[in-house]
Structure 1
Amino acid sequence: MDYRLELLVLPVSDVDRAKAFYHRIGFREDADYIDDHDFRVVQLTPPGSPTSIIIGRGITGAEPGSVQNLHLFVTDIERARRDLLGCGVEVSEIFHDSGGVFPHAGTAHRLAGLSPGRRSYASFASFADPDGNGFLLQEVSERAS
């Protein structure tokens, strides 16, 4: 039996502002359902991804901005960073972690630049949506078997 993760709920304070942000960075809108003033579901999907996000009202008790370290895998992190900057998104410089592949929480273990040898899975850049939900771009040029 397969268990596929296909949907993540992100808590936001202003649905229309968040929706505009995700549109700006290229997410496809799959649905925008409004039942009443207190319930709204907007499903958006990143380009090339089988997994979507949902934002809305009345869908989660989590605090806006409380979701962190959502990884968006890209094959060229320099290009992805330039694309986001071109969309007006504040993106960190590219970094790698001093301890290896997966980044520590916070910024204390970040080393500037691409991973030595540009190892797959080891170079990152970070950004956040308007509420502070945090994303990491992670360069994956070759998949582990």
Structure 2
Amino acid sequence: MDWTLEVIVLPVADVERSIGFYRDQLGFALDHDTITPQMRVVQLTPRGSGCSIVFGMSQMEPGSMKGLQLVVSDAAAARSELLERGVEVSDLSIIDAERDGGTLFFFDDPDGNSWSVQQMKIRAEKPLIPLDAR
């Protein structure tokens, strides 16, 4: 039996601001925005990912998630894209230039939840979710 990680609950203080950041600046797809009398639940998914983020229903302190990680095939291009969209990102950190996975950069969302972006060149050839399955 497969066990897949498909949702991470992210604690945020302002749902509208977070939708703007994740959808408009990071480019995540807004899967749903559900409002009930008891709560509001918003789900967004990075392009090509099998795992989404959900907010609007967390008991955690906003900004308390640290070390979430995204993977891209080209860290320099991804960093440039986020800079163009107004996201404050770190410089590229090259831990091991010879080894795939050794190039990273970092950013925080408006609440202080922290993210790293790791370059895995193999994802250009072998995405986790094949293009024909999307």
TM-score category (smaller protein)? 0.7 to 0.9
Q: How far apart are residue 86 of structure 1 and its match?
A: 0.5
Structure 2 CA distance, aligned partners of 1:123 and 1:60?
A: 32
CA-atom RMSD in angstroms: 1.2
Do residues 122 (structure 1) and 123 (structure 2) align?
A: no
Give the aligned partner of residue 120 of structure 2: 140
TM-score, normalised to structure 2, is: 0.86
Structure 1 CA distance, aligned partners of 2:71 and 2:9?
A: 18
Give the aligned partner of residue 126 of structure 2: none
- Structure 2 unaligned spans of 5+: 124-134
Q: How far apart are residue 47 of structure 1 and its match?
A: 1.1
Task: Work out the number of aligned pairs and report it.
Answer: 122
Q: How far apart are residue 96 of structure 1 and its match?
A: 3.4
- Structure 1 unaligned spans of 5+: 98-114
Q: How far apart are residue 142 of structure 1 and its match?
A: 2.8
Q: How far apart are residue 48 of structure 1 and its match?
A: 1.1
Give the aligned partner of residue 6 of structure 1: 6
Give the aligned partner of residue 129 of structure 2: none
TM-score, normalised to structure 1, is: 0.80
Higher helix share: 2
Q: What's the CA shift string for 1:27-61, capped at 9, x where partnerless?
A: 1011101112x5110000011111100011xx221
Q: How far apart are residue 123 of structure 1 and its match?
A: 1.0
Q: Sequence identity of aligned pairs in percent?
A: 46
Do residues 91 (structure 1) and 68 (structure 2) align?
A: no
Of the candidates 75, 79, 82, which is equivalent to residue 80 of structure 2?
82
